[in-house]
Every structure is written in structure tokens, then in C-alpha cells.
Amino acid sequence: MRQASIERRTKETEITATVNLDGSGVYDVETGIGFLDHMLEQLSRHSLIDLTLRAKGDLHIDFHHTTEDTGIVIGEAVSKALGDRAGITRYADALIPMDETLTRVALDVSNRPYLVWKVDFSKPKLGEMDTELFKEWFQAFAQQAGITLHVENLYGENNHHIVESCFKGLARSLRRAIEIDPRKADAVPSTKGVLGGSL
């Protein structure tokens, strides 16, 4: 079973997370940030990755540390659960419409982390959450999961729809990329025989 648990404790946050890559999208998430909980639930539901997460952070300061560190911990858990990444499909993309919004996500589970973020917001806040923090979450997740991740909002007006389409796009593409390819179930999907390092 491709499962992993990660615990992270700093002076700013205390976070534990467990993932099952071969789950059914069952989630149990508590970060203290309602909108972030909603997005992580979407990530789990649409990727079919079971996710249990508990986070306590310095929310009296702001939401930055908790948001970023949940990305770090979930990314680490996904990477650990993937192991040597043998047999995975590796590449995937998704085009996600949400009412007036359309977002494209493409990724490579390459063990070479990189984020391209082409998402703009018309407001600095979404509820109580700074919209600039969403890039921080995706950056932290991509870095720790070892994923080359391109996220581009093609158009949209509603900031909630824009953010949610980004998380759903990540979920749907991640779901396909980490699936085991039955034709190459025992092989790392690279001519090098290993994922990561130089191109």
C-alpha cells in the first residue's frame, strides 16, 4: 500500500498528515482555516487520495505559516508514499471549468520540483485568507512532493472559483499521474532508470 505519515513541529506550527495514494478520496482535515480546509478536502476528493490532517498554527499572527506548512507536510507525505515512483504514469494534465472560470494544470511527477504559477486575483483577500497565500501552498507542495507543476488560470472573475479550479486541477492531474501503469508496473518511467537529478 502506498501510504505515508508525516509530522512537522516548529515554533510556528504543529502538523500531522497521513495519505493513502490508493484510497477513495476520504478526508478528515482540520487546519483552523476554513477556506483552506475546503480546498484540501477538494484535493482529496478529486485525487482519490485519502487524507487525514491536523494543523495547529500561529493564526493569531496570520495564516501564512499554517498554509505553507500544510503544503510542505502533504507534499512530503505524497513523496514518501510514492517511494521510488516505479510504475507511475508520471505525466498528466487537467482542464477544469468552474462556471465562468477555466484553469489548466499540467504536472510531471519527476522528483524535480518546479512551480509555474500564472494565476491572478482581483482581491487581496478571500474571506479572511490572503489570496497571495495560495501560491505559497502550491510552491511548498510542489517542492516537497518533487513535482514539476504548471498552474494557469486561463480566465475567470470569481476569486473563489479561480482558487477552487486550481486545487481541483491539481487533484485530477495528480490522480492520473500517480496511477500505476499496468504495462510498466515495475519500471521507473525514465530512460535514466531513476527520477530526479538532472534532465
Longest dimension (CA), the chain: 51
Does 21 have pLDDT greater than 50? Answer: yes
At 62-106, the pLDDT tens digits run 999 999 999 999 999 999 999 999 999 999 999 999 999 999 999
Instruction: Select from 100, 110, 52, 104 the least CA-distant residue to 79.
Output: 110
pLDDT band at 184 (very low <50, low <70, confident <90, very high): confident
| Overall average pLDDT of the 40-58 stretch | 98
Determine phi and psi for 156, rounding to 5 degrees.
Answer: 160, 160
Examine residue 124 and state whether it is found in any structural domain, yes or no.
Answer: yes
Q: Which domain holds residue 50?
A: 3-184
Does 192 have pLDDT greater than 60? Answer: no
Examine residue 196 and state whether it is found in any structural domain, yes or no.
Answer: no
Beta-bridge mates of residue 97 = 102
Task: Report pLDDT for 182.
Answer: 85
Examine residue 190 and state whether it is found in any structural domain, yes or no.
Answer: no
Examine residue 118 and state whether it is found in any structural domain, yes or no.
Answer: yes
Examine residue 139 and state whether it is found in any structural domain, yes or no.
Answer: yes
Q: Which residue has the cell 510514492?
A: 82
Instruction: Select from 152, 7, 17 the least CA-distant residue to 94.
Output: 152
Examine residue 189 and state whether it is found in any structural domain, yes or no.
Answer: no
Examine residue 125 and state whether it is found in any structural domain, yes or no.
Answer: yes
Does 36 have pLDDT greater than 80? Answer: yes
> How many domains would you assign to the chain?
1
Percent of the chain predicted with pLDDT > 90:
89
Does 6 have pLDDT greater than 50? Answer: yes
Does 18 have pLDDT greater than 80? Answer: yes
pLDDT band at 1 (very low <50, low <70, confident <90, very high): confident
Examine residue 18 and state whether it is found in any structural domain, yes or no.
Answer: yes
Instruction: Select from 176, 170, 166 the least CA-distant residue to 35.
Output: 166
- Report pTM: 0.93
Write out the DSSP string of the chain.
--EEEEEEE-SSEEEEEEEETTS-S-EEEE-S-HHHHHHHHHHHHHHT-EEEEEEEE-TTT-SHHHHHHHHHHHHHHHHHHHTT-TTB--EEEEEEEETTEEEEEEEE-SS--EEEEE---SSSEETTEETTHHHHHHHHHHHHHT-EEEEEEEE-S-HHHHHHHHHHHHHHHHHHHTSB-GGGTTS-SSTTSSSSS--
Q: Which residue has the cell 512532493?
A: 145
CATH number for 130: 3.30.230.40
At 142-151, the pLDDT tens digits run 999 999 999 9
